[in-house]
Structure 1
């Protein structure tokens, strides 16, 4: 079966360096790869990526404006960042390069064999990403500067609180700016609105009880798989009972 070539963006402020990399890539047959764009600095590269996503960025480090290390750090915060291979005249940035999850680190002048090895490594990582990518809906959250993808299958519940929505999953809790109704629509089947401020994963519902709230008033609440309790409105009480009854029948 014919493989999809690696799509490559070359980012280097030296035109001759870009020309050499392009010629090496075009002459390389294993793995197949094609250059989809060139840029002389980080700003131009970012603009290109917004129009033409790619699998791999061949990235210089010493450039005017944002340097390659900073730009690579920016890239990995994106929901679906490209792989990065650094191409530089200096070997003293190698440790820092791998701290930003670089796939490889090449020193100039780049040898054909080393570039091929880097492309092979990038092709392998592309396959690994595809195999581990979650199927179904995914919510994107920010976690201490990083961007994480939380598959719907990991979501326990969403609860609106003031201006934000708290996403609770088996991996942790995050705050989202999106409206609860928009998130509910994005998640699709398998989720149930139990209250005007809460949407739960049907598979994570464990119990339904009458409980007192913080004001001492008694009402119905549902217990989730992580032990948290969420209020259930009278309007949704029947639907929650049906969920629990279906679970007991299974």
Structure 2
């Protein structure tokens, strides 16, 4: 059976479909408790911490709760390994899967082929691979000094996004500050998913290239990844609703 993309009824409205909650939790129990506290939640991100603790089963549990899953493991390896990892991720029912664009075109093409094969094996809708460009924790000076990359993130990000497009990958992860330029170069249906989202008045934390939800969506983002402003709030459901309201 294919994964449904139909909007779930609730008070979150269409804006709720644009928000992906980052489940930065140490175990499945706390992650499931968090999602249970936000009735209008539609899609969640499972990252390295939760996946290493709870394993593939947490993806199945979340899908069993009717949630769509963004599996953010940022695969970066040789082509055959990336193909196998994406095949397995697709078989779990993940709808979005991250791979590092810097792995190169051959690896990206192998990852895409593996994802399509895995989804077909389980009769699932094909997932969208998202090429990670430059992590939102990087700032230009440190990027150049530590990685010896002469190009600034503003130049390097479009280079990696173009590489992903050439490899047939369906989207990219980028800073919200880079969305407008990427959207001009790569119109829909190329997906642009943006972490580094902070509602007005929220602390930036360890993110450096941030933007408010409304501004990021207006710039051309497809979906917004929001973590601590919702998950660390005293009332996560109210914080989620406030984000939806900001999107209109």
Range into which the TM-score falls when normalised by the shorter chain: under 0.3
Structure having the higher strand fraction is 1
- Structure of higher RCO (CA pairs closer than 8 Å, 6+ residues apart): 2
Q: TM-score scaled by structure 1?
A: 0.27
Q: TM-score scaled by structure 2?
A: 0.27
Larger radius of gyration: 1
